[in-house]
Structure 1
């Protein structure tokens, strides 16, 4: 381990090339890992699977998205172009790849709400397992298990992976892209970097330009850390970039080169252009920039009429919305969620993904500072940089642009989980080591205690016993950590108990919100992933604590006979409002 990374773990002690263990004995840890590592990982994966699949019998159809799956299941033309109607005359403002996992599931199990949500459960478990592998290679077994557990118990993940939302597909693709990228960095394998580009391209089919937001992290990380000369690093990145572009633009090319008379009309555009829909309406339009041919992103439900477009198909939509706003207005109260730069730090979005912000930032700062004199190819420092760039890139773009659905911010969950896990381990080691650095863990716990109290104050009526219990646990943890460190006479058992108490205090609040999805009223809806008191809240709908009218046939609250959103399908049918 580099001497400049005093408390950072070395990945070499845990990195074992895949394929050298008994693949069939999945319950046994590979050589080089503790015997308890694999059983612990399988336990975390089992908890994730139960959490995500718990409400499958009660899950609802996603408005409009489920109609696209039905159309794609019925004909090859509908499948290739992602049409929403049986005649394949219209698409949503999405790429067809968004719905492929659900189409496959529907063909195998039949067209049911639960079969459309099942792929997301599988994607969630895969994401948990792969994230463990990534963090284990980077920082060791303990951080890997912590990262897997933190990710599994992130509130937005607990809700999102239990519903038919293509954001889960994107999240899995991003984690798999980092997995392949990491092999490229550790072993200077260009084919692994190309594979990372393929996964980003597949993620592009799920959520378009949002998948490309990870590219700065992979680019900076590879340029900084790959153990080859600069010229070869640039060559590898160039090849991987071409592959990423080719996979990403494949569907747009299919659509562009197919005569307009032989394909559906593209929603999200005013000129039947897939490129305008992807890069305009679902791209630059999200940060307030309109390009020719792209439908303008608006805040209302006023449908946009395209004079030359054929009449749109009328889709019968009667979604089942479960969740707090339609169940009992006394269960929670909510402040108005902010817009602009503050949206990731106040309101429902940080409750969904940001409970560990203080720990994440502190780990990032300390990791960069402690590793400032490390060699260029140091994999631990390189990983800190990569996760940090991922976090900052997504955070900045989400702050500037619009976030129509809570599930968007699920892309922040992997870096938050990875950096938080690293922070717990390095601060634990620093605490045991003594000196000034030993106070970092009490500081982190205290910061998390204050931040958690702030976030929970948005919903004072949501599980008040759990709120006060977690706050009391945090207060006891801070006092115990300070006393043990100040007295310097405590036994090893007392020190370990204080450390465990501190870690539990930091993770308690997000775990409570995530586990609340076991109650269907707090599990979110297929149109917006919100665990806890914001469950069922959709853009344009009521704030938690208000009691809206229940949806009437043909429409939902917030729009004239359609889905609350930012625009409409050509010809006047209100659009899904989701965007990319």
Structure 2
């Protein structure tokens, strides 16, 4: 027992490379400062960002029930299609600083900085300072990281909880204490309350690392994992069961579900449908059929194509190569035990997340790649340590040089995606990488040469994501699918489609992806609606309703939820609400009615309103005064 405790206590100390502590602190501080400035610089140019979530935060400031359930409006008609934890975080910020872009986005930036620092500390426990700093830098400045740090989607909180869970899992292996397993469970339950099953992408990594490297007897390890799994399952189901067991009349409808069930939302729309469903629903129409070169883009190269490559491709390919290389070294037994733990965790996390995102169904948003950025950066950091090891043998030098060449050739290819990337800089990337590879293939006549070559290789790998992130800062981001980088050359790509959407081409896609913003006359009309109405207006789809609510400060019913496909309200329910004087105006969105797959209830409601109330043109839009009946 004493020997085991000594082994555990020295698990990571022995391999922590010496470095000037003061210099290390200054370097990490500089990294955090630069990243923080990038995350908040002119962040208000994004406006409400994802108005769908901003309106839900707004609703939570007016009504405690809306805050609890993440209602899209404070009339508590329907919730957003995600659990509420990330909205609670933003809600607290808004409660303190008021509702504005800064109070919504700064918490996202702070959580991303926290993830960056945790990543640095995780690597620094048993790898050199250079590895830890590069891992943190690769994550902090990855285009998708910069994009989401400046946006109000749930992903920054989810990623922070995931890296926290991995850190706790590593500590569980080091100490053998069940308290750290309990912490893993707690953080993943909170991750589930943030973005449901997506937070569990780190789970295979934690479980595999614990089973392979924790020093307890095999039976005890299996027992601990089993107990943790049961607790995780129960803890994750607490929120869905709490919601579903509550009377439907005392809570809002669960947006994104067809049966008003949080459990169905978890397993369906936010669960297996995302993984397995190949047919696009209206909520996934951000990439129409004509914008796909094949029926489905699922496959090994999905994340490297022109739709998603600018988000993650810059670091993904070298990260996959680093994962494979570190696994080979791990199998050979060249790492210390503590290093082996982290290498196993990083490789499993990177590869499993890559496979899931590459082969999941077509209901895929480009920002899903944010869940791959941190494990990729972690693997890259470990790859930096491998560069030093590889220089000691001829096969290692050749493998390293080939990896550098493949990575910079791909980066040069990525440079051709958009005209926004200067040609000369792409050529410089290629020359730097090839030059570094040439030096690395032969034994160095001078000790400093490998360091220079490594520096050139790292610079060549980082120029692409840094420049792409700079382009991201220049473009205002809004709606359901923010996107990194420059406008692609090819007309049949996501960025081209979203560029048209911003100009209401086609208008129905703008309604779903960004939301139609009300004109000044419409804003005045809704603001002056009688206070007796629970909903000053009712319209569709969800992003448009959110834009109206944020612009007017009055509660707006989102008929059919986010994509106008949820079966709520029924015609009878809406007629009852109108009869009770709860709805003042119905605002018709003619372009949205052209979308196939709209809720039949929405069509029935719109037909009934047209047949029974007179339309008035306000800012070119048909408005029906249903309070005057």
TM-score range, shorter chain: 0.7 to 0.9
In the alignment, does 2:420 pair up with 1:449?
no
In the alignment, does 2:452 pair up with 1:497?
yes
In the alignment, does 2:391 pair up with 1:426?
no
Whether contact under 8 Å (2:469, 2:485) holds in the other structure is yes
Partner SS for 2:208: helix
Partner residue of 2:13? 12
Q: 1: CA distance between counterparts of 2:70 and 2:444?
A: 67
Partner residue of 2:133? 145
**Inter-CA distance 554–205: structure 2 relative to 1 (3 Å threshold):** farther
Partner residue of 1:73? 61
**Inter-CA distance 375–230: structure 2 relative to 1 (3 Å threshold):** farther
- What is the number of equivalent residue pairs in this alignment? 508
Partner residue of 2:373? 413
- Map of 1:539-550 to 2, 5 A cutoff? 543=496, 547=500, 550=503
Structure 2 residue ranges without an equivalent (≥5)? 1-10, 286-290, 517-539, 545-561, 570-588, 598-629
2:396 aligned residue (431, 437, 447): 437
Deviates more, 1:366-375 or 1:75-84: 366-375
Query: Residues 542-561 of structure 1: CA distance to partner in whole angstroms, max 9, x if unpaired?
Result: 62696556249997526596
Query: Residues 343-397 of structure 1: CA distance to partner in whole angstroms, max 9, x if unpaired?
Result: 2121232321121333223322222222225399923223222222212222222
Q: Which structure carries more helix by proportion?
A: 2
2:180 aligned residue (192, 197, 203): 192
Q: 2: CA distance between counterparts of 1:125 and 1:103?
A: 20
Q: 2: CA distance between counterparts of 1:546 and 1:164?
A: 20
Partner SS for 2:308: helix
1:512 aligned residue (460, 463, 467): 467
In the alignment, does 2:297 pair up with 1:339?
yes
Partner residue of 1:243? 231
Query: Residues 249-290 of structure 1: CA distance to partner in whole angstroms, max 9, x if unpaired?
Result: 23212201211111111122221111001111110111335x
1:42 aligned residue (26, 29, 37): 29
Q: CA deviation at 1:68?
A: 0.9
Q: CA deviation at 1:301?
A: 5.7
1:531 aligned residue (484, 500, 503): 484
In the alignment, does 2:215 pair up with 1:210?
no
Q: CA deviation at 1:32?
A: 8.0
Partner residue of 2:351? 392
Q: 2: CA distance between counterparts of 1:550 and 1:70?
A: 26
Report the structure number with the largest CA radius of gyration.
2
Partner SS for 2:429: helix
In the alignment, does 2:40 pair up with 1:53?
yes
Deviates more, 1:33-42 or 1:418-427: 33-42
- Map of 1:57-456 to 2, 5 A cutoff? 57-61=44-48, 62-288=50-276, 298-300=280-282, 339-341=297-299, 342-374=301-333, 378-401=337-360, 402=362, 404-431=364-391, 433-456=392-415
Q: 1: CA distance between counterparts of 2:19 and 2:438?
A: 37
Q: CA deviation at 1:230?
A: 1.3
Q: CA deviation at 1:403?
A: 5.1
Q: 2: CA distance between counterparts of 1:172 and 1:285?
A: 25
Q: 2: CA distance between counterparts of 1:70 and 1:144?
A: 39
Partner residue of 2:4? none
Taking structure 2 as the reference length, what is the TM-score of the superposition? 0.74
Taking structure 1 as the reference length, what is the TM-score of the superposition? 0.80
Query: Residues 209-229 of structure 1: CA distance to partner in whole angstroms, max 9, x if unpaired?
Result: 111222111111110011211
Whether contact under 8 Å (1:541, 1:558) holds in the other structure is no
Q: CA deviation at 1:55?
A: 2.6
Whether contact under 8 Å (2:112, 2:149) holds in the other structure is yes
Q: 2: CA distance between counterparts of 1:552 and 1:494?
A: 54
Whether contact under 8 Å (2:412, 2:429) holds in the other structure is no
**Inter-CA distance 528–272: structure 2 relative to 1 (3 Å threshold):** same
Partner residue of 1:306? none
Q: 1: CA distance between counterparts of 2:283 and 2:221?
A: 48
Q: CA deviation at 1:541?
A: 6.8
Query: Residues 38-66 of structure 1: CA distance to partner in whole angstroms, max 9, x if unpaired?
Result: 22111111111011111323222112111
**Inter-CA distance 403–450: structure 2 relative to 1 (3 Å threshold):** farther
Deviates more, 1:118-127 or 1:372-381: 372-381
Q: 2: CA distance between counterparts of 1:380 and 1:508?
A: 29
1:568 aligned residue (546, 565, 568): 565
Partner residue of 1:466? 425
Query: Residues 476-527 of structure 1: CA distance to partner in whole angstroms, max 9, x if unpaired?
Result: 3334434xx2xx46222333222211221122211221233342x2x64453
**Inter-CA distance 546–363: structure 2 relative to 1 (3 Å threshold):** closer
Whether contact under 8 Å (1:14, 1:136) holds in the other structure is no
- Map of 1:474-493 to 2, 5 A cutoff? 474-482=433-441, 485=442, 488=443, 490-493=445-448
Q: 1: CA distance between counterparts of 2:70 and 2:156?
A: 18
